[in-house]
Chain A
Amino acid sequence: MINVALPKGRLGEKVYSMFANAGYECPSILENNRKLIFENKEKNVRYFWVKPSDVSIYVERGAADIGVCGKDILLEYEPDIYELLDLNMGKCRMAVAAKKDFYDDNEKTLKVATKFANIAKKYYASKCRDIDIIKLNGSIELAPILELSDVIVDIVETGTTLKENNLEVFETIVPISARLIVNKSSFKFKTEEIEKIANSLRDQVKAND
C-alpha cells in the first residue's frame, strides 16, 4: 500500500490528477465530503489531505510514503527526506519586500517579519547582516506598514497583495515550486512502486513544459 499525503487545496487537486494519470486513481477522493482518507484497494493506494505545511512531517515520520509540498516548507523545516522531483507547479518565489521608500541602513539591526524564520535567518547570515526576526503566522504584509518591521520575508506569487499595500519586492531569495518528496525508509522497501510514480510524474511534467 502506498500512502500519499496531498496538500489541501487547488495544488493538491492538480497533483491528484497527475497521480491518477500515473495509474493510481481513487475516484472517491473527488466526492464532495469531509472525509480525510481515501483508499483504492485495487490500486493499492491511499490518499489523505493534510495542511500543506504539514506534508513534510507526515512524510518524514513515515505516516505517508510520498507527499507533495512547496520548496518553502522544505527549506524552512529541512526534513530528512528524498526530494525526487520538481513538479513545476505552484510556482512563486521567496522574497524580501518592504515599503517603496525603504532604505536599508546597514548601521541598524534589520527587523524582519516572517513566517519563515529559518529561511530568513540563513539568508541574512549568508550576507552577514544582523537581523531581528519577528515571527508572525499570517498577514505578514501588515508588519512594515505598521512599522513593526523594516522588511518582510514571504512568498510572492503575483505581487498583487504587495502592490495593493504599497509594498514592493527588493530581493528574491529563492524560486519556489511544488516538489515530490519521499520517506527514505519507504523508498528502500517500495522502490519499484515509488519509482513508477515518480517516472510517470516526471513524464507528465515534461509533457506540460
Chain B
Amino acid sequence: MIDTRYLKNEERIIYNLRSLYGSYGYLPFKMSKFEEYELYVKNKDFLVSDSVITFNDTNGKLLALKPDVTLSIIKNGQDEKGIKQKVYYSENVYRISGSTRQFKEIMQTGLECIGDIDLYDVFEVVSLAAASLGTISKSYVLEISHLGILSSLLDSINPDKDFQSSVMACLEQKNAHELKTICDEYEVEGEGAQLLCDFVSIYGKADTVLEKLYSLNVSPAFKCAVDELSALIALLDKTEYKDKISLDFSIVNDMNYYNGIVFNGFIEGVCETVLFGGRYDKLLNKMGRKSKGIGFAVYVDLLEDFGAEKRDYDVDVLIVYDRSTDVERLNALVGSYVAKGQSVTTQKSLPQRIRYRELLDIREDKQ
C-alpha cells in the first residue's frame, strides 16, 4: 500500500492523472529522453521554445533532449481505418524558459488520441482535460476555442498572412486598441474592422458566446466551425464540467499545425496556464500521416507548491544516542515508533537543520 504522506505534491497529481487516463483505456507511453534532432528541425514552429539541447551520439548522429512529446508519439504511430491510438505519458521535456533564457526541465503529463477520430473522441479528450483540472483543484476553468472560427473570420476580412498574424497577436492579448491600428494600416475598414475589434470582447459562458457567434453572418466556413464548437458544447453541457467551461478566442496556436478545437486550463492560485491542448490534424498531415489527432498536456511542474500542506517538522521523532547506547535497545525503540506509523531519525548529537516533533535523548549523561 502506498503511504501518501511520502508522495510529493506533483507525484500525487501525476498518480491521480494516470489512474484517470488509464480508466478511459489510455495506455502508458514510455519514450526515450533523446530523439533525432531532425524531427524537431522539420517541425520547428510546432515547438513552444525555439532552442533545443543537442549533442552527438556515439555514431556522430545529432540527437536532442526532447523538447516535446507529441512529435515522438506521432512518429511512432500507424494509420488504420477505424482505429485510434490512445496513449498517456508522464515525461520531462527540455525547453528555454522565459526572459532568463535558461534551459529548464519541465514535467508534463498528458494524453494523445490519434487516428480515425470523431466528435466523441474530441468530447472525451476535452472532458478528460476538465477532469484532470478537477483532480487538482475545485476551482478551475477550461477555456475552449475553435481555430476554424478565427481562420474563417480572418480569411473573410483579409487573406494577407502578415495581417493575420498581427491580428492573432492582438487577439492573444485581448488588445483591441492595437487591433484598430493594424486594421488602419492594412486598410481594413467598416464592418470587417468592427467585427475584429468586437471579437476581442467575445468570451465567457458558452451559451452567450455561441448566441453572439450565430448572430454574425461571416461565411459558410465560419458557420461550419461554429456548428462544430456548438456540438461539442452541447455534449459538455450535460456533464459535471458544464460550469467550469468558458469560450475564449484569445487561445492562439500556430494555425500551420493546429486546427479545430483548442483549449487551455487554468487553476485558481496558479499564475500560469497549466494545461494546453488541441486538435492537430495539420501537424499529422505535415508528418505524412493520414490520421487526425487531439491531445493535451498538464504542466505538472507549475503545481509543485500548489495545495501542498506546509510541514512544520521533517520527522516525528528524533532519537539522540551515544556510544554507550545498546544497539538492540536503539533498534527496538526505532522499531516501536515505525510500527506506530511515525517517522524516526537517529543522530549522535542534536542536528541544526532537522525539524522534529518529539525529542528522545537517550545519551548516558542525559539520563
B92 interface residue, CB < 8 Å from A?
no
B139 touches A189 (CB 8 A): yes
> Secondary structure at chain B's binding surface: helix, strand, loop or mixed?
loop
A85 interface residue, CB < 8 Å from B?
yes
B177 touches A86 (CB 8 A): yes
Write the B71-113 contact mask toward A (1 if CB under 8 angstroms, else 0).
Answer: 0000000000000000000000000000100000000000000
CA distance A32 to B175 in the complex (A): 35
A185 touches B174 (CB 8 A): no
B27 interface residue, CB < 8 Å from A?
no
Say whether, besides A61-B271, A62-B271, A189 and B266 are in contact (CB < 8 Å).
Answer: yes
Q: Which residues of chain A from 53 to 103 have a CB within 8 Å of any chain B CB?
A: 57, 60-63, 77, 80-86
CA distance A60 to B100 in the complex (A): 14
- Chain A residues with CB below 8 A from B175, complex form: 82-84
The chain A residue with its CB closest to the CB of B175 is A83
Beyond A80-B272, A185-B266, A185-B267, 7 extra complex contacts between A and B, CB < 8 Å: A62-B272, A82-B173, A83-B173, A84-B175, A183-B271, A185-B268, A185-B272
- Chain A residues with CB below 8 A from B174, complex form: 82-84
- Chain A residues with CB below 8 A from B178, complex form: 83, 86
CA distance A21 to B93 in the complex (A): 47
Say whether, besides A82-B173, A84-B174, A185 and B139 are in contact (CB < 8 Å).
Answer: no
Which residue of A83, A84, A186, A191 is within 8 Å of B271 (Cβ)? A186
A-B residue pairs in contact (CB < 8 Å), sample of 7: A62-B270, A62-B272, A83-B173, A85-B177, A185-B271, A188-B268, A189-B139
Say whether, besides A185-B266, A189-B141, A189-B266, A81 and B173 are in contact (CB < 8 Å).
Answer: yes
Q: Which residues of chain B from 171 to 197 have a CB within 8 Å of any chain A CB?
A: 173-175, 177-178
> Secondary structure at chain A's binding surface: helix, strand, loop or mixed?
mixed
CA distance A23 to B351 in the complex (A): 54
CA distance A177 to B115 in the complex (A): 49
Write the B127-157 contact mask toward A (1 if CB under 8 angstroms, else 0).
Answer: 0000000000001010100000000000000
A8 interface residue, CB < 8 Å from B?
no
B273 interface residue, CB < 8 Å from A?
yes
Write the B262-290 contact mask toward A (1 if CB under 8 angstroms, else 0).
Answer: 00001110111100000000000000000
The chain A residue with its CB closest to the CB of B174 is A82
CA distance A63 to B143 in the complex (A): 22
A111 interface residue, CB < 8 Å from B?
no
- Chain B residues with CB below 8 A from A62, complex form: 270-272
* Min CB gap A2→B, angstroms: 14
Q: Which 5 A-B pairs have the closest CB atoms?
A: A62-B271, A86-B177, A82-B174, A83-B173, A83-B175
Which residue of A61, A85, A184 is within 8 Å of B273 (Cβ)? A184
- Chain A residues with CB below 8 A from B143, complex form: 188
CA distance A80 to B97 in the complex (A): 12
The chain B residue with its CB closest to the CB of A118 is B99
Write the A127-140 contact mask toward B (1 if CB under 8 angstroms, else 0).
Answer: 00000000000000
B250 interface residue, CB < 8 Å from A?
yes
Q: Which residues of chain B from 223 to 275 have a CB within 8 Å of any chain A CB?
A: 246, 250, 266-268, 270-273
- Chain A residues with CB below 8 A from B266, complex form: 184-185, 188-189
CA distance A186 to B272 in the complex (A): 9
CA distance A77 to B266 in the complex (A): 23
- Chain A residues with CB below 8 A from B270, complex form: 62, 185
The chain A residue with its CB closest to the CB of B201 is A195
- Chain B residues with CB below 8 A from A186, complex form: 271
- Chain B residues with CB below 8 A from A184, complex form: 266, 272-273
- Chain A residues with CB below 8 A from B141, complex form: 188-189
The chain A residue with its CB closest to the CB of B264 is A184
- Chain B residues with CB below 8 A from A61, complex form: 271
